[in-house]
Amino acid sequence: MEVAEQISKFQEFLEMHYHAKLLEIARLGQKFIEIDFEELSKFSPELVDDLIEYPEETIKAFELSCSNFDLPNETKEIRIRIFNLTAEQRILIRNIRSTHIGKLIWFEGVVRQKSDVRPQVTSARFECPSCGNIITVLQLDTKFKEPTRCGCGRKGKFRLLTKELVDAQGLVLEESTKDLDGGEQPKRINVFLKNDLVSPISEKRTNPGSSVRLSGIIKEVPIILKSGGQSTKFDLIVEANHVEAIQEDYTNINISEEEEKKIRELSQDLKLMEKLTQALAPGIFGHDRIKEALLMQFAGGVTKTRDDGVKTRGDIHVLLIGDPGSGKSQLLKRASVVAPKSRYVSGKGTSGAGLTASVVKDEFLSGWSLEAGAIVLANRGVLMIDELDKMSDDDRSAMHEALEQQTVSISKANIQATLRCETTVLAAANPKFGRFDPYENIAKQIDLPPALINRFDLIFTIKDVPNEERDERMAKFILTMHKEKLTEEPEIPTDLLRKYLIYTRQKISPILTDAALDELKEYYVKIRSTGTSEESAIKSVPISPRQLEALIRLSEASAKLRLSDKITKKDAKKAIAILMYCLEQVGLDPETGKIDIDKITSGITSSERSKIIIVKEIINELEVKFGKMIPIEEIVKTAAEKNIDADKVEETIEKLKRTGDLFEPKPGKVQKI
């Protein structure tokens, strides 16, 4: 098709479909218009063929047709951005070949790296001093190019008249893992963005870690050899035409009026929590308490910034510890479907740098650049960590700051940076010896550092105990599901459940009522006072202020799920019930029968700690009598008078030897260090 015909056709198309939008763009002072490929293909199949085969010239004709409209001067140059290309134009990064050069295609991928925005010369105009001829040279290479010769025969020494600069930025895009087969490595391609694609609004779409759908034109770039000559091989680069984010966090997702109406109707349902828990994981049998806690986790508490600048997190972190085959990973996988933005990582295949952030060599601007890890990439989303117990201690310790302060600080090479990670963490782990021992204390079987455990608001233990009636129901549920390949259809579809949870995060910020505040205060004071006992040398601490903050977050989440802007006494009671359920399983001191948070946070209950203090006192007393070397028999004998049995004394001495307070110079005798 001739250019003049193309321009008139495009003008006709714009007048039919986009005239109002063009006027709106002119009013807002924008420099680009988004055109739906499907609409264009209905209007003129020939134009679409030209657009796919010769995109540069056709888009130029399209842009010229825009300038024929009577628009204000500053919006004369409107750029065309084409989206919604057909499936035929889709290509995987690994399948790009030389035949695709110069064609318009689209693909999906994850942004791995992103360079800074810098001005770049796109074309330069030179004047020949001999004949006055003006030569335009397109600058496609990294090296600034001058004309080699003029038509009059002159070589070199041309005068530069003007050069066109545009804002430019480079991305490294990597294939999405869902497009890979087996052991294939994800391939990468460089993407070149310019003009409005690097504006501050579109910048957010292309942050490292975000999944994007990108349409553009494939170009070849010459590779310059070290000798200065040009290689026979060429590099590929995609000049982007349109970029849209696929996976967005809850702040960017729009909820239509119709959906809002459905959500509001659903919130009035009397069986709301039952329906929501059933919709969360219809393919997983039982675990209603955990499902309810996961719903609260997705709704989240309210992040508050106080006047003194201190930020209180609103994200609820949940840890599931259970026997193998109890459905932990299934819950995590299902949760990753429901969450608007999520990442899934697993045990041994995860390092500290992969979780937080790493410093890598920058391919674009030579030097160092930051590459965000999973916890940062899941900002304002949910991070699922499976097999937490299989990770090494060094790697786990990288999570401490991210869980509580919600930032990741890096100081490596010449980069000092603090990255934000308002991420909700849902982790799963197995007990120390693979399965829970019913006769051993649960807290002793959790093989995780106390400092890390303390940062989780809720810790659920999932025990797989044989029970004929329950096993029969479960077997029937699983076998029916396999036979019919269908789960029981939940009353709330997954899409509506996602929108419901996003709506709670976007729009609802509940405030504590006096009744709820009194309920939480009363519970906190009451349960802490139960730790006082006359006979023990030290008081047990049933719960700490960290659990009180967890209670506030859970109460907020409960109110959010009802779409209420007030936290009532009922919400506070629900939060207390869930926290008590977790504490009774994990934080119960078997000797006193009371809840003791020290069991979780430091691994030693207060009753054990009081025994350690008594044994230390006995050793100090006996040191005066026996000198430096004290017989263990004497310690046991003296402890028996204070009602501490021999086993406990020996266990305590072992602990003190491990911590380096005592050592055994001779068998049967101990000495203080």
Distance between CA 297 and CA 505 in Å, rounded?
Answer: 11
**Is 93 inside a domain boundary?**
yes
CA distances from 152 to 54, 128, 133, 138, 146 (A): 32, 9, 9, 21, 16
Residues 231 and 112 in one domain: yes
Number of domains in the chain: 4
Residues 236 and 147 in one domain: yes
**Is 216 inside a domain boundary?**
yes
CA distances from 37 to 34, 51, 347 (A): 9, 10, 44
Distance between CA 376 and CA 397 in Å, rounded?
Answer: 16
> Can you say whether the dihedral through the CA atoms of 572, 577, 582, 587 is positive or negative?
positive
CATH value at residue 614: 1.10.10.10
Any idea what the Cα angle at residue 115 is, between residues 110 and 118, rounded to 5°? 140
CA distances from 590 to 471, 594, 595, 606, 613 (A): 29, 8, 9, 11, 19
Residues 299 and 156 in one domain: no
Residues 338 and 358 in one domain: yes
Q: Is 461 helix (H, G, I), strand (E, B) or coil?
A: strand
Q: What pLDDT score does 598 carry?
A: 58
Residues 31 and 138 in one domain: no
DSSP strand pairing (159-174 vs 188-194): antiparallel
> Can you say whether the dihedral through the CA atoms of 37, 41, 45, 47 is positive or negative?
negative
**Is 545 inside a domain boundary?**
no
**Is 313 inside a domain boundary?**
yes
**Residue ending a domain, choose from 199, 222, 245:** 245
Residues 304 and 378 in one domain: yes
Q: What pLDDT score does 533 carry?
A: 47
DSSP-derived secondary structure for 245-274: ESS--TTT----HHHHHHHHHHHT-TTHHH
Give the pLDDT confidence of 17-69 residue by residue, as tens digits. Answer: 877 887 777 777 777 888 888 888 888 888 888 888 888 888 888 888 877 77
Other CB atoms within 10 A of residue 597 CB: 24
Distance between CA 555 and CA 443 in Å, rounded?
Answer: 26
Q: What pLDDT score does 407 carry?
A: 82
Q: What pLDDT score does 63 carry?
A: 80
**Residue ending a domain, choose from 445, 475, 507:** 507
Residues 334 and 389 in one domain: yes
Distance between CA 226 and CA 207 in Å, rounded?
Answer: 33
Residue spans of alpha helices (H) in 530-605: 545-561, 569-586, 598-601
**Is 540 inside a domain boundary?**
no
CATH value at residue 33: 3.30.1640.10
> Which 8-state DSSP code applies to residue 187?
P
Domain of residue 197, residue span: 88-245
**Is 571 inside a domain boundary?**
no
Q: What pLDDT score does 672 carry?
A: 80
Residues 347 and 224 in one domain: no
**Is 291 inside a domain boundary?**
yes
Q: What pLDDT score does 140 carry?
A: 67
Residues 501 and 624 in one domain: no
* Residue whose pair of structure tokens reads 């919400």 in the numeric block: 571
CATH value at residue 128: 2.40.50.140
Describe the chain by its helix, strand, coil percentages, rounded to 5: 45, 25, 35
**Is 379 inside a domain boundary?**
yes
Residues 177 and 203 in one domain: yes
**Residue ending a domain, choose from 48, 66, 84:** 84
Residues 60 and 154 in one domain: no
Distance between CA 53 and CA 101 in Å, rounded?
Answer: 10
Exposure letters 38-76 (e unless 16+ CB within 10 A, then b): eebbeebeebbebbbebbeebbebbbebbeebebeeebe
Residues of the chain with pLDDT under 70: 1, 70-76, 140-142, 177-183, 200-204, 209, 247-253, 362-367, 369, 438-443, 485-490, 530-543, 587-609
Q: How would you class 144 by CB atoms within 10 Å of its CB: exposed for 0-12, middle for 13-18, buried for 19 or more?
A: exposed
CA distances from 444 to 438, 447, 589, 604 (A): 12, 7, 11, 9
CATH value at residue 362: 3.40.50.300
Residues 143 and 261 in one domain: no
- pTM (two decimals): 0.70
Q: Are 31 and 195 in contact (CB under 8 A)?
A: yes
